[in-house]
Chains A and B, each alone.
Chain A
């Protein structure tokens, strides 16, 4: 295990060890350690105030850490800030825009402070504007743009100078559903050429975009793994809903008799003449076949069978509420 971890650390573009940030006597980030490999898209998940933004601010060098270390591409954030900053494109929660500039002026300024050479500037700006789909807005004043476009200009800024690592703090917050889908697809596309860390408190966003999830709660990492592993870790019980035509007491008993079923309950009538049942069963046995034959024997047709996937929501709630009750007791 130890050996394995060192091997991972060597591959990692971002490696964070025991990073902490203290505010007063409260630890906003408490001994956080994680690695992000080249080309990975990692989701930072947590409730508001969990410490996502603070961690990102420390990674980008905006604020200093109280303890521990953060390295990007082998360079330490505190001792080699310039090398780190050259490799990171950062979109903070509130895009850092100068309202009195046009998009073009703003991006030119960003190119200048990010040391993009004059020769490359025009082509880089064209590229990011095309990626972000803001070509038509380039001569507009930033203050006159809609929230969605402002977000895109902020993201365009992060893409300038073609950084290896993109750090996006809640990139879809405040956008309408169509824009959210656009930004998510864009992030997936960008993930092919960049290493991305994005934070979010929207579960299905992380589920949709990220390969790996780091769940952070009250400054501490409570879980970090791939979606599949997280789902497996939550337990070996799966649920499904089954809708049966012409249900009676017998049906319930028959379902209960199927191998692997641990619990059955009536959910109520949702379609005329049908009854919905919720079934809990062990993950090891596929109960669907047994269910079909058991009900066929009774002559009761299955109208609908819907398995409930374990969602990130389940995992998240399980991980964070377990802690929650503990700390509330303390208070």
Chain B
């Protein structure tokens, strides 16, 4: 697993992908930080982070689109799948590499709250909790992107589908829209999948067990489906 992880992380930084992801992410969060926190002299950093959750729709596809699609297209999956490594460790290695790039980006973004600390006295614990929630949210969405990337050998298809799925998940968390749809089973389904909404308690500075378990099991389920999707193709008879 570690060797796949290392190679994938290296490949992120050898290609422009990691830089495009980090640059775009930090640019947009920086803009929002400047307007909502600095210019309007507000110290509530977590609500800014919460507002940033829409950014995942645009950035997660950049990170995940090529993870498994490219292997299939270049036939390098033949090397991985005929080597003595399990499919699970391939999937985990790739997933953790993408999560690491995201994690590194978040670490860089610590500059923003640090600016707040020099000018005021926001709660350190609250901001860290917000970060933990934001990280878990991103990790869950990366797992969705990884699954979609395993379904197609075309990076563009994989990126656009990931965007579409994340958009549906996002809209599932918008209350007004839910009131308009008002079909109970669709609402409860989308509510169950409302990954974005689970961030709220973290934003309030509450480190609850339930949302953490929710996010971790969400990741686990999607990683499991990714493994199944690769296995299924090997057994495919069509």
Instruction: For A99, list chain B residues within 8 Å (CB).
Output: 74
A214 within 8 A of B: no
CB-based contact A113/B76 at 8 Å: no
Q: Is the CB of A92 within 8 A of B84?
A: no
Which of B50-58, B115-123, B230-238 lies at the interface with chain A? B230-238
Q: For residue A273, give the distance in angstroms from its CB to the closest CB of chain B.
A: 59
Chain B nearest CB from A100 CB (Å) reads 5
A90 at the interface (CB under 8 A from B): yes
CA distance A241 to B111 in the complex (A): 88
In contact, A24 and B237 (Cβ under 8 angstroms): yes
Set of chain B residues within 8 Å of A96, measured between Cβ atoms: 74-79
Chain B residues with CB under 8 A of A82: 84
Q: A98-B11, A98-B76, A100-B15 are in contact. Are A113 and B237 (CB under 8 A)?
A: no
- A189 contacts B by Cβ under 8 Å: no
Determine whether A293 belongs to the interface, using a CB cutoff of 8 Å to chain B: no
Q: B94 CB to closest chain A CB, in angstroms?
A: 13
Cα distance A88–B83 when bound, in Å? 8
Interchain CA distance A60-B77 in the complex, whole Å: 13
Cβ of A183 to closest chain B Cβ, rounded Å:
19
A186 to B177, CA, bound (A): 67
- Contact across chains for A114 and B84 when beta carbons are under 8 A apart: yes
**CA–CA, A66 and B85, complex, Å:** 23
Of B79, B235, B238, the residue contacting A157 (CB under 8 A) is B79
Tell me, in angstroms, the Cα distance from A155 to B238 when the chains sit together.
30
User: Given A90-B78, A94-B75 in contact, is the A63-B234 Cβ separation under 8 Å?
Assistant: yes
Instruction: Say if the beta carbon of B146 comes within 8 Å of chain A.
Output: no
| Per-position 1/0 for A235-250, Cβ under 8 A of B | 0000000000000000
Interface residues of B in 79-126 (CB under 8 A from A): 79-85
Inter-chain contact A98/B82, CB cutoff 8 Å: no
Q: Which of A36-72 contact B (CB under 8 A)?
A: 57, 60-64, 66
CA–CA, A23 and B76, complex, Å: 22
The reply on A110 being an interface residue by CB < 8 A is: yes
Q: Is B183 an interface residue (CB 8 A)?
A: no
Given A22-B237, A112-B3, A113-B3, are A61 and B11 also a contact pair (CB < 8 Å)? no
Q: A-B pairs with CB below 8 Å: how many?
A: 73
Contact A88 B237, beta carbon cutoff 8 Å: no
CA A109 – CA B80 in complex, angstroms? 11
**What sequence of 0s and 1s flags, for each residue 1-12 of chain B, a beta carbon within 8 Å of any chain A beta carbon?**
011101100110
Interface residues of B in 1-59 (CB under 8 A from A): 2-4, 6-7, 10-11, 14-15
The docked-state distance in angstroms from the alpha carbon of A113 to that of B15 is 22
Asked if B3 and A64 make an inter-chain contact with CB atoms under 8 angstroms apart, the answer reads no
Complex: A110 Cα to B76 Cα, angstroms? 11
Contact call A62/B78, Cβ cutoff below 8 A: yes
| Binary contact track A102-137/B, C-beta < 8 Å → 1, others 0 | 000100011011110000000000000000000000
Contact of A100 among B3, B14, B237, B238 (CB under 8 A): B14
Shortest CB-to-CB span from B73 to chain A, Å, is 11
Q: Which of A24, A57, A101, A113 contacts B85 (CB 8 A)?
A: A113
Q: Which of A74-103 contact B (CB under 8 A)?
A: 82, 85-86, 88, 90, 92, 94, 96-101
Smallest Cβ-Cβ distance to B85: which chain A residue: A113
* Interchain CB contact under 8 A, A85 and B11: no
Most B CB within 10 A of own CB, among A21, A24, A112: A112
Complex Cα distance, B10 from A82, in Å, reads 27
B79 nearest CB across to chain A (Å):
4
Report chain B residues within 8 Å CB of A90.
78-79, 82
Give the chain B neighbours of A62 by CB distance below 8 A. Answer: 78, 81-82, 234
> Contacts A64-B235, A85-B84, A114-B83; is A98 near B78 (CB within 8 Å)?
no
Residues of A within 8 A of B234 (CB): 62-64
**In the complex, chain A residues whose CB is within 8 Å of the CB of B238:** 23-24
- Cα distance, A101 to B6, chains bound together (Å): 12
Interface centre among B3, B15, B79, B80 (most CB of A within 10 A): B79
Q: How far is the CB of B132 from chain A (nearest CB, A)?
A: 32
Q: Which residue of B lies closest to A26 (CB)?
A: B237
Chain B residues proximal to chain A, CB less than 8 Å: 2-4, 6-7, 10-11, 14-15, 74-85, 234-235, 237-238
List A residues at the B interface (Cβ < 8 Å).
21-24, 57, 60-64, 66, 82, 85-86, 88, 90, 92, 94, 96-101, 105, 109-110, 112-115, 157
Add 4 more A-B contacts to A60-B82, A96-B79, A157-B79 (CB < 8 A). Answer: A85-B84, A97-B74, A109-B7, A113-B85
